[in-house]
Structure formats: C-alpha cells, structure tokens
Structure 1
C-alpha cells in the first residue's frame, strides 16, 4: 500500500500501471493494446501518476471515463487522450474497449519538440481528450503511426528507441492538428482568425521576393491594412510591415548562405530597387552587411563539414 503523506494516502507512482516506477527505465517507447493491461485490473485503473512518462491513448472501440488532475471526461471511440507526466489520472473503461497506448519519456519528447517544433510543447504538457469526428482522414494516419510504433516496440533492433521517438513526435503532430480542429469547431471566431493568419503566411511565402506593401497583402485577404496589422500584433506580436520585412530577411539569408548569386543579383531577386538600398535594409535588420553575413555563413558551413 502506498505510504501516507501528511495524513493522506499517497498516490502510486508507476512506470506502467501495476509496475513500480523503479522497475522500469524511461529510455523506451512502450506500446500495448489497452485491454492487455486494463483487463488485468477489471478495466478500472485507480488514480496514479507517472513521474517522468507521457502516455498517448487512441481509443478505437468502446469508451469509458477518465479523471485527469481532478477533471472528469467521458469518452467514446474514436478519440485520443493525452496524459502528460505527473498528471494524476485514472480510468473506468467499458469492457468492450480497444485501442492503443504509447508510453515514453516526457523529457525526451520535450527536448525534440523544443528544437524542431516549440509549438508542440503546449500539446505535450496539456492533458486532453480529443474526439475524432468520423469519417476523418486522420484516423488512418493515427492507426498507421500507432501500428508502426508497435512494430518497433515488438522487434528490438539497432536504433529502436530513436525510431520509436521519431514516430511518437510524428504522432504528436497529428494530435496537435486534431487539437486545432477541435478548438476551431468550439470557437468559430478563433477559427476565422487562425485561417487569416495562415492565409497571410501563405501570401508571405508567395510574395516575399516582390516587396509588396501592407495594403497589397490586406487587399488580397479582403481586409483593411489596419485589420492586418492588428491581426499580426495578436498572432506574432509585431506589425504587418515587420512581418513582411522578417520574411524578406529570411529569404535573403537563405540566398546569401546557399546560393552563388551576387549581392546585386540577390537584391534584384528580392525586389529591391538597387544593391545599396538592399544593403542598408539588411544591415538595419541584422546588424551585418550582406557580404559579412555571407562570409560568416560560409565559415560556419566549412566548420560543420
């Protein structure tokens, strides 16, 4: 029985439910079908937590009820559950439940997310129950990812953990996309804002070499220049012209670092009226002349070889 803490019964800290935390390592990506463990406990999993492990459950049949950090959700297939490390959770599964559960180290997932996709950190750290509205293309994607993780877990080979971790990151991308769909469905006004932000990003990618003014972007989006600036400040914390300039600088850096174009050619390629004006613009944004930046990048690339 768990020890008492301040007169209260302490919650069990499990690696996997029913296995003490000290009995298992965290450098694994574990996969199993939900009934294989839940059936051993009468489909009732008492409240507990995992000190270092995140769990992702994909309910493909049946349903049940879960409590996560004091909040109770009823769920039914198909749906996804996210249980971050140290979240106190328990389940009351229906006896016909089926699906997958993946368990892995939260710290490893967060380390990869911080480098590759910082926006995923919110998904990794937030408990969630996400219904999947059928028919959904994502269900086939989810099934393929869970099955692939299961195959890696069942057949030990070299780099097994790395492969499992990479697949789990891909799985979390699907979870994040699903979460955004659910949020848009629950908040149409927010959905409209998100759609406008994505439209602006697309326009920036398409027009970053043409030096168009804010009014041109706003007209393409069917809103005023003032509305576009307010949208940018809400979404990015900067004005619309700053967003346009940053995208131009990103493209300039790419051309300076990875192309053989001259500075004059790059200036013309990006829609600047002359090389001198481009040089002043680049230095104002980065603190370096284009030639200085190119030399810096060439040196860095040589050292990395």
Structure 2
C-alpha cells in the first residue's frame, strides 16, 4: 500500500482548487490505455466523478473497500474520496467530472434528499434496469455534446444535466435498494461491513488490531486475512487510512493546533502523531496545512 496518496484534478494532472465551475466528459479508455488500465489510489479535493461502465469489468478501491464492478454500472466518487481503479483491457464507458460545491448548492435548495447520494461513494448496478440505463447514457451523451464547443451559459447547462443525472440515480436506487451493494449477503462482506462500522465509530480511540478483533470475535490474524482477501489491505492499513483521512480533513476545515488535533485523534504525544502523519501522507501536518492555505489563496475555495 502506498504511503502517500496523490492529489489530482483529473488523474495524472496537478490538482487545482480554482476549478469552481469545472465540467468534463471523456471516454474511460482515453487515459486508461496509457496507464496500463490501472489508476493508482488518489484523491480529488473538490471534484466529484461518476463513471458509466458500458462494457468490461473494474476492480474498485474506494476509501476502505475494494469491490468488483461489472458493466453496465455506475461508480460514484465524491470529492475527498481516496479511490483507485484497475480496469480489464476491454473496458469502455464515459466519466463525468464536475465541481461538487456548486452542485451541492443547487441540490440543497431543489432536492435536499439527493445530497446523501452525492456524499456517499458507491457502485450502482444497472443490469436490471435496461430502460433506466439508456436514460442515464443520454445524460452522458448530452453533456459530451454540450462540451464539444464553447457556448453561452455552458456551465449552467452542464450543471443542469449533472443535477438531473443525480436525481435520476436516486430514483434508480429507490427502485431496489438491495441492488446497491455487491455481494452484500455473503458472510465475508457482512463481517467486513461490521469491522468498517466499528472502525468508523472508534478510530479516535487509537485501539489496537487486537482490540478490534476481540470485538469482532475473531483472532487478529483472521481479521487481517479477511481484510486482505476482501479489501486488499491489512486490518491495520484500514484503521490507519481512516485516521489519516480524518486528520487531513481536520487540518483543512478547522483551526485546531497540531497538539489539539493529535489529542482529538487519540494520540497522547504530538510528536508521535506528526511521525504517523508524515509516514502515511508524505509531509508533516504543518506542511500539509500550509500547502492547503497556499492553494486556497491561489484559488476560489478549498472544498
């Protein structure tokens, strides 16, 4: 597992925080062929992505979970989600990339119940909804056509299409909620979901893997094997990723001192927290915050 998570705008391109009204549609093969069909774990600060997998298969990493997604399906990746993809070479489809903040502003006013959808990373299978699949594909094609040449009020039109897409996706999910999860009925998936829920609830307590395994009713070795088999990482990696994710968000969104943040995350020693953060993020907490402040000053807003 990589210790430093790259921060990109589009994959492989330097992140830019000033893309307040950014919209893009491109074929998945456009970038994937050049990177041997594998996008390593990375994060987008302010951009949300929705991938329409028209054909092929994708191994998807999103935050703590690793899943298999088969065409036809949609992959929703909100801003600030650590994600990576490994496509089969026959994979094709379209990816919409958009600034999340302006979409949230409009959805909050017009369809607040849709907010929960754009905040949660998920895979939405479409194989049981052929008519809905065709409607969703038309949203993608309409946006691609809109972006072919510069036009008056193009941002407004793209935002309208994106919002319409999310509203339609929320309706698809409501048709059959159980199809939102992949292999969720299996015993291993049930155990992993339980572990992730416990981690999310207790990661600030700095519990050991042994503490978590006791609560799960299994040995530490069994828990780690389960995580590696299902998620592709150890149980300790899962715990540390959750702590790092929270630390990065607190550094950007709050004014806590490093000492206060260390205590908030359950570290008794500020120096130990700093070493932990540097090991997993590649920079110190102070350097991470300074970079964020500098980018805020250069751009519109750190979303």
Shorter-chain TM range is: 0.5 to 0.7
Label 1:115 to 1:184 Cα distance change in 2 as closer, same or farther (>3 A).
same
1:130–1:182 Cα contact (<8 Å) kept: no
**Cα drift, residue 47 of structure 1:** 0.1
- SS of the equivalent of 2:169 reads helix
Residue by residue over 1:243-275, the C-alpha shift from the partner in whole angstroms, topping out at 9 and shown as x without a partner, is xxxxxxxxxxxxxxxxxxxxxxxxxxxxxxxxx
Match of 2:155 among 158, 161, 164: 161
Secondary structure, counterpart of 1:21 in structure 2: coil
Change (3 A) 1:137 1:41: same
SS across alignment from 1:155: coil
Counterpart position of 2:33: 39
Q: How far did 1:175 drift?
A: 1.3
The one-character-per-residue Cα deviations of 1:250-301 (angstroms, maximum 9, x if unpaired) are: xxxxxxxxxxxxxxxxxxxxxxxxxxxxxxxxxxxxxxxxxxxxxxxxxxxx
RMSD after superposition: 1.8
Give the distance between the partners of 1:22 and 1:29, measured in 2 at CA. 13
Structure 1 position 116 matched with structure 2 position 110: yes
With a CA cutoff of 8 Å and minimum separation of 6, indicate the structure with the bigger relative contact order.
2
Q: Take 1:18 and 1:76, find their aligned partners in 2: how far apart are those partners?
A: 24
Q: Given that residues 124 and 179 in structure 2 are in contact (C-alpha distance below 8 angstroms), is that contact kept between their aligned partners in structure 1?
A: no
TM-score of the two chains, using structure 1 as the length reference: 0.56
Aligned positions of 1:172-191 closer than 5 A: 172-183=166-177
- Partner of 1:12: helix, strand, or coil? coil
Distance 1:82 1:185, change over 3 A: closer
Report the Cα distance in structure 2 between the residues aligned to 1:134 and 1:120, rounded to whole angstroms.
22
Relative distance call for 1:37 and 1:23 in structure 2 (3 A) is farther
Match of 2:101 in 1: 107
Q: How many residues align?
A: 180
Instruction: Give yes or no for contact 1:15–1:24 (8 Å, CA) kept in 2.
Output: no
SS at match of 1:19: coil
> Equivalent residues in 2 for 1:174-213 (5 A)?
174-183=168-177
State the alpha-carbon separation in 2 of the partners of residues 83 and 126 from structure 1: 8
Distance 1:185 1:103, change over 3 A: closer
Query: Per the alignment, in what secondary structure is the counterpart of residue 59 of structure 1?
Result: strand
Counterpart for residue 287 of structure 1: none
Within 2, Cα distance between the matches of 1:87 and 1:183?
22
The residue that corresponds to 1:194 in the other structure is: none
Q: Give 5+ residue unaligned stretches, structure 1.
A: 1-7, 188-305
Instruction: Select 2:137's aligned residue among 135, 143, 166.
Output: 143
SS of aligned partner of 1:67:
strand
Question: 1:221-248 CA distances to partner (integer Å, 9 max, x unpaired)?
Answer: xxxxxxxxxxxxxxxxxxxxxxxxxxxx
Partner of 2:56: 62
Instruction: Check the 8 A contact 1:64/1:74 in 2, yes or no.
Output: yes
Change (3 A) 1:182 1:38: farther
Q: What is the Cα deviation at residue 73 of structure 1?
A: 1.1
